[in-house]
Every structure is written in C-alpha cells, then in structure tokens.
Chains A and B, each alone.
Chain A
C-alpha cells in the first residue's frame, strides 16, 4: 500500500517539473533586483544585459546616500515617514477590519445585508475613480500634511473586511458560544478567540496592506504639499523619474529599487510563515 502511494506517476513528474519551472520564472524579477543593486556601473549598461552580478560592489548605495544628502529633506526623514505610516496603517487596518469582520460574520442586525453589499460593491471601484472624492474629503477635514491624512484613506479596506468576514464565518459558532458560557464578554470573545483564530487571514491582509501602503505614491503627491511629510516611495519615485535619462543616475536607481523592495520581501516572509504555521497547528480542519 505504502509502496503504491510512494510510486511516482508520470503525471506527477510533469506537474512538479512544470511548477518548478513556473516558480523559477516567477522569481526572476526578484533575483534581478537583488543582483542589479550590487552591479558596478559598467555591468549596469552591459548589452546583452546579465542577470547575475559579476563584481558585486556597494558603490550604488554610496551614490544613493550622497544623492540623498544633497536633497532639501534628509533621506532618513522619508524613511521615518514611511515606517510610521506603514506601521500605523497596518495596525489600524487590522483592528478596524477584524472588528468589522467579526461583527458582520457573527452577529445579526438591521441593514447587515446592505452593509455587506456596499462593501462588495466598493471592491469594484478602481482607485482612480475615487481620487477626487477622496481629495475633497481629506482637504475638507483639513488633514493635509498630517500622518492622519496618510492613514485615513487606507483605513477603510473593503478587501480586508471582505476576506475577514469570509474567514471568521468559518469559525464554528459553538466555539464562541462556549466562550460566552465560560463568561467571556463580547470583547473577550473577540480578543481571546476571534483574533487568535484569524491569524492566517490577518497575516494575509497584512501582506497586501503593507505592500499597498509602502509603495503608495499617490497620497504623498496629492495630499502632502510639504516635502517633510512625504514618504520614501515618493522620494524614490521622483528620483527614478528624474534620473530616467541620466546615465550616472542608473546606479542610484538600482540601489533605491532594492531598498523599496526589501521591506516587502521581509514582511512577506515573516507573515507567510505565520500563515502556514497557524493553519497547521490551529486544529481548524
């Protein structure tokens, strides 16, 4: 029996080969970004271009720092803004979305269906279509040039709520009822049961929320008129567009590209592990 299970069918061979090839292909851009940042000037312009770096150097980063120190606002300020904004947004999105998801998934109240439909509906809007109303709201509230102005537009995350409603409705009702009988309050059930059991979903929304916020340029461009309130993504973006045709700028761009990419990778690896771990150990079948 075991033998038969272990036997590799031709189909499996094909499957594994195809998926390995696919995975390798998907990872090419990542390998490219990693290598590109460490290429010396001459390798950057090599034709035909090479994927792998031959003589790795840190010169590109030196250039980036040099370039940044000449700017009106120090590089560290952008970095600080980005970290603050990404951190706060991530935290608040998780809090708001899990609470909304729990209530929408497990409680019965008036207009629940309407609210759910509105959330689903808002999933279909392209971000561009809400740009103007969003601007009106931000300036109406007078929160231009504040961190709050960064966070508020990202706070209402229909996709996160949508995912959490789906996930939390999978938690058996008896579990929450058992907690209720054990004496847990509504908030206690939320923090002691719903939150820990939703970790896989929270990890998932964390990944894409972080990526969205970290790479977001629009908020800095539209709502932040003061340079000191703008984020690293904005800086790198303007750097790249400013350097597009300059030969000497290419090395700065390569280093900046890696810098923008790395946090995404770290967050992804961090949370992806949690996703798998919790799925294995949670006992939810």
Chain B
C-alpha cells in the first residue's frame, strides 16, 4: 500500500511556453521517504500537486497502488498534504482542525476524539486543542498541520516545504521529528524542499530537478559521491564543488588532466569511462569537493612545487566552527578548500594546492553529463 508510479508525466500551464514538469518518470516504493529538491521554480510543487490531485496532469499516467488515478479526486486518493504556509482553518479550533478530515470521512465520534488526542500527544500539542490557529506560534501551527495529516492515517504523506517558515533551531528539531514520525508510521512520504541539507538528511532517495526535468534520482550518499551531471554536482554540497575547465590527454597509456596551470595524473579507475566517451575528452570539467582539496604552505627550499601541486593565493577564510574553508585564487578562478580549523592562513598568503585525484569527477563541458555516468555518448 502506498506505492506511486509516475509514467512520463508532463504539466503544461496554459500560456506558458515551457512545461513546468517535463517527462517525470519515476516509481516510488511503499514506505519510502522521497525528497524532491531543486532551485525555485523547477516544478517541485507542481509535481506534488499533481500527485495530490490538486492540479490536472497534462500528459502521462499516474498510478497509486497500481491504480490509475489521473482523474481521481484528491479526497479519494488517500493522501494527506502539509502546505508550506500550514493552511490551518482559521475559523476552527486546533481540535476541529485535526478532526475535520475524520469527520468528513464519517469516523465515529469517540474514535475521532481518541485519534485526535493520540496525535496531539505525539506532537505535544494537547494543551493547545481549544485554541484557534491565530493564537499559535509558527512552530505550533506547524505541529497542528502535521497532526491534521497524521490523524487521517493516509497511505501517502505529501509535504511542500513544511519547515521553511521556522527558525533554524526549530527547523532542525522538527526535521528530526518528521524523520522519526515517518519511520514509526512506515508510510510513503514525498517531501519537497529547496534546501539541500534538508534533502540529504531526510530522504532515503532524492530526486534533483531543474527546469521541470529530473536530473538524478539516487540515495543521498550516491548523489553526493556520484553526481550525474554538473548541475547535481553543484547543487548538492555546501560549499559548492569546485569546477575547473580543461582537457584530458593521453600520454604513454596514462591520462592527464591538463589546463593552463596544471597537469594532473588521473587514476586508472576512470580510464574505462574515457574509452567510450572520447568526444568529451577535449573539453571537460574537473569537479572536486572542498574536502578533497589539499592546501599546504610552500617548502621554501624547493624551486618547483612537488608533483600535482600548483601555486595559489589565499583570498579569504571562512570559519564555520567545525571546519574552516579557505578561498584561494588559482589564476582567475576561485577554489574553495576545507582545512582544519586550527590552521590559519593569512590573506594574500601563497600556498600550494593539490587535489585528491581519487575523489575528483569529470564532466563533459558541453552537456554537463558526468563521464562516469553510464549510457550513450553525451
């Protein structure tokens, strides 16, 4: 119960030239915590609203539990949704807000009371049941909105940026609660956010979208370690992955990444991908995350930096507490590297920079597709 299948779903809003959702093709297993993430306007809400039945599907089929539901009305889909601005009924008390869905489904009165009280206890809002929404704080409203969804015990939960109106501390706390709630209830959850940290911490699988198109679907770890293209690589991870343009050249059976400033030996495990993507080798992009950047002070005695290291200049340092990030200038390009918080570099200080070549990624510059990604030539 609670599995969902999108089969080549499109959404065209009237008067818009571009589809808001473009060929959304995905199966969601029952009990899965799926997160939709992407920049503003990429079609996350639209996808969610089509799943809820609040928006017509222009093209394609939608199945819930193998049942074709394109034309099934929202109330018959056994789905509950939490809206970004909570959408609590202002004219009803908290109790009535939570109870309304049950009442409309003709649940017996004592049963309603039982369920509302149980939900209120889980969410610690029992003392608020008689209040009106206008008398609640943002966090409390959020809980009531969650309670309203839970009380109905639907097969599928939908949440559209439910935490975006909360402050950082409350957001982290509620995030943990939602994760716990989902694992307790074991219901399918589709969760929309534009916050990649939220996506990475909550989802069992993450869908990254851009301009209505799915960029990659993967578990958080895989999304981080094996981004399918430049967009995903840049979107997931904070601070961003560093990108350097260049080309891959072959010398004596070995590949080197080459640009104006550096020549880096590429480990062998990449070679099999290069063999099938020869067209991409001339113009490619090297991606390296800040934690895979090595920075060190220059050894005064040597004239030439050791292999794999080049000179750079510190631009600024950002201390976040646990780590510090050093922004260095490599020619025109700014590269971010993570260092121990204890090592302090001066502004304008000259350093040596190198990359952990076992952890770098290569992308086709034109299409942005990862060279490690399977499939046909980009």
Q: What is the distance, in angstroms, from B142's C-beta to the closest C-beta of chain A?
A: 14
Annotate B69-99 by CB proximity to A: 1 below 8 A, 0 otherwise: 0000111000111011101111100000000
Check B87–A184 contact: CB distance below 8 A: no
B90 and A180 within 8 A (CB): no
Residue in A183, A192, A283 whose CB lies within 8 Å of B105: A183
Within 8 Å of chain B (Cβ to Cβ): is A188?
yes
Cα distance A283–B101 when bound, in Å? 21
Q: Which residue of B has the minimal Cβ distance to A285?
A: B134
Is A24 interfacial (CB 8 A cutoff)?
no
A172 touches B87 (CB 8 A): yes
Q: Which B residues touch A182, using CB under 8 A?
A: 75, 100-101, 104, 148, 152
| B52 contacts chain A at the CB level, 8 A cutoff | yes
A282 near B54: Cβ-Cβ < 8 Å = no
B83/A178 in contact, CB under 8 A = yes
Given the known A-B contacts A175-B87, A182-B152, are A283 and B104 also in contact in the complex, defined by CB atoms under 8 Å? no
Contact B91 A181 (CB under 8 A): no
Is B12 at the interface (CB under 8 A from chain A)?
Answer: no
Contact A183 B101 (CB under 8 A): yes
A182-B148, A183-B104 are known contacts. Are A177 and B75 too (CB-CB below 8 A)?
Answer: no
- Chain B residue nearest in CB terms to A176: B87
A56, CB-defined interface residue at 8 Å? no
A-B contact count (CB 8 A): 68
Find B85's partner among A172, A196, A284 (CB 8 Å cutoff).
A172
- Identify which of A178, A281, A282 contacts B81 (C-beta below 8 A): A178
* Alpha-carbon separation in the docked complex, A284 to B91 (Å): 9
Number of interface residues of B (CB under 8 A): 26
Q: Is the CB of A181 within 8 A of B80?
A: yes
Question: For B171, what are the chain A residues with a Cβ–Cβ distance below 8 Å?
Answer: none
Is the pair B90, A197 in contact by a Cβ cutoff of 8 Å?
Answer: yes
A177-231 interface with B by 8 A CB criterion: 177-184, 188, 192-193, 196-197
Interface assignment of B186: CB less than 8 Å from any CB of chain A: no
Among A174, A183, A192, A197, residue most surrounded by chain B Cβ atoms (within 10 Å): A183
Give the residues from 129 to 165 in chain A that come closer than 8 angstroms, CB to CB, to chain B: none
Q: Is the CB of B79 within 8 A of A283?
A: no
B220 interfacial contact with A, CB 8 Å: no
Q: Is the CB of A281 within 8 A of B132?
A: yes
Q: Is the CB of B75 within 8 A of A181?
A: yes
Closest to A278 in B: B91
Chain B residues in the interface with A (C-beta under 8 A)? 52-54, 73-75, 79-81, 83-85, 87-91, 100-101, 104-105, 132-134, 148, 152
| Chain A residues within CB distance 8 Å of chain B | 172, 174-175, 177-184, 188, 192-193, 196-197, 281-284
16 A-B pairs with CB atoms under 8 Å apart are: A174-B83, A175-B87, A175-B90, A177-B52, A177-B83, A178-B83, A180-B74, A181-B54, A182-B152, A184-B75, A184-B100, A192-B89, A193-B89, A197-B91, A282-B134, A283-B134
Question: Nearest 9 A-B pairs (CB), nearest first?
Answer: A283-B134, A283-B90, A182-B101, A174-B87, A183-B104, A183-B75, A178-B87, A196-B91, A174-B83
